[in-house]
Structure 1
Amino acid sequence: MELVAIDLEGSGAHDRENEAILEIAVVPIVDWQPDMAAAYSTLINPERAIPQRPWISPGLTDAVLSEAPKLVEVEPELARRLNGKYLVGHNIGVDWRLLHRRCPGITPSGLIDTLRLARQSNQGGKRSLTAMIDHFALTKQVGRLAAGSVPHRALWDTVAVALLLRALTRATHCADVQLGGLVQASSAPPLKGRGAPSQPSLFD
């Protein structure tokens, strides 16, 4: 079973069907650690103006995004890195809905939600990604691995998710042989339709 941490930065749910992907990062998880040598992160040109809003990082400006590759140029690389893998994210359903809407040809095997796992294991008080990373004292390690990135940007958040998954599996006493059970416990509800992952079984 191959695990890949993922995070997207978008223009915002208020855009509804027109929400654009502005940045995406993908980091394979190997032996419960983020494989930074195989990490992939890119800005994406939304091909339209994006007003600055509180939830959009100040670094994601129209001037910067206009120089980035378009999603159609990035999609083949994303498909190569994501198809057939289990996607790991914090509140992964939000990222998956946007990715599935914009790239319906991407077909992961399933979704693993660290937010859902944290809730079920009763870990932490506040369960935002940054709060959970602080709870497990991982902030400095994330900053070291995601050098040059900051919280709420795709690469930082993706590395944080990869480290958080390991911390949660340790806290809940999960081991490799129990990974199928972890998938069942933390999987976000799959979307229906072409390209949506089916609900993973215990030993997928």
Structure 2
Amino acid sequence: MNLETVPHLLVVDVEGNGTNPPDLVEIAALPLRDGRPDTTTAGAWLIRPERPVTARAASIHGLTNDLLTNKPTWSELADQVGEFLGTDWICAHNAHVDYRALSHHLPKWEPAGVIDTLRLAKATYQGLDTYSLDSLIKHVGLDLSQAPRVGRHRAPYDAYATAQLLLAMARHYETWDQLIAAAVPPGLPGAPQPEQDPTLW
């Protein structure tokens, strides 16, 4: 299917400070419009966490405590981020992580549904050794020449890569309902409800 006909879909990615549960240090929300990522209207926020960024987390995404020292705190950004996300469908790779982190920070937020490109990839490209985002970028041969220049493991770049992955996989499905059945983890918003066995009453 072509996602041109699907309105209100945001591809999101979050980066944390390495604690458990994490403080958010970066969020990206990339709209899909007319079947392609719309970087001109994307949302991206850097956040100064309450607790320091761990050395391991900083080594992955490059967001150090010094870099974030003058950025807004979450309390200063929460309303803006929540308004941007609204009630749109969201998509993320290994979406449980992003949805859990965002829900923790935005307790009143409830998206229309949650598409997981990791779950969708396992249904679409069966038998791969690994389903990491890097491996899928290589397997599908995604063109990331127009991705934000911040680099891999930064939220804007990973959201763009995930969006391109979703668009590539959507071509394997004839309808939105088929894609949703393969892509939305049970228990998350938008998951198809199991059919009820008929009863006498």
TM-score by length of 2: 0.84
Which amino acid is the alignment partner of residue 15 of structure 2?
E
Distance across 2 between alignment mates of 1:79 and 1:95? 14
2:194 counterpart of 1:199:
no
Contact 1:43 1:65 in 2 (8 A): yes
What secondary structure sits across from 1:69 in the alignment? coil
> Partner residue of 1:128?
132
TM-score by length of 1: 0.83
Matched-pair identity in %: 34
Q: CA deviation digits over 1:18-43, x for unaligned, max 9?
A: x2111110100112210011111121
Match of 1:156 in 2: 157
Aligned CA RMSD, in angstroms, stands at 2.1
Distance 2:109 2:36 in 1: 24
Residues 143, 150 of structure 1: 8 Å contact kept: no
Name the CA shift for 1:45/1:186 in 2 (closer, same or farther; >3 Å).
same
Counterpart of 1:84? 87
Tell me: CA distance 1:54–1:8, structure 2 relative to 1, closer, same or farther (3 Å). Answer: closer
Structure 1's consecutive aligned runs of 4 or more residues displaced over 2 angstroms after TM superposition are 54-59, 122-126, 141-145, 188-191, 197-201
Offset, 1:200: 5.2
Query: What's the offset of the Cα at 1:102?
Result: 1.5
**Structure 2 residue matching 1:96: 3-state secondary structure:** helix
1:58-83 residue CA offsets vs partner (Å, 9 max, x unmatched): 62111111111111222222222212
Amino acid in the other structure paired with 2:85: L
Q: Which runs of 5+ in 2 are unaligned?
A: 1-6, 194-201
SS in 2 for 1:144: coil
Paired residue for 2:180, among 157, 178, 183? 183
Q: Measure, in 2, the Cα distance between the counterparts of 1:117 and 1:136.
A: 13
Mark the CA change 1:37 to 1:58 in structure 2 (over 3 Å): closer, same or farther.
closer
Q: Give the distance between the partners of 2:41 and 2:78, measured in 1 at CA.
A: 17
Q: How far is the alpha carbon of 1:145 from its aligned partner?
A: 2.8
Report the CA distance shift for 1:23/1:54 in structure 2 as closer, same or farther (over 3 A): closer
Contact 2:17 2:51 in 1 (8 A): no
Distance 1:190 1:43 in 2: 30
Deviation at 1:181, TM superposition (A): 2.4
Gaps of 5+ in 1: 192-196
Contact 2:17 2:52 in 1 (8 A): no
Contact 2:29 2:43 in 1 (8 A): yes
Alignment of 1:60-75 (within 5 A): 60-75=63-78
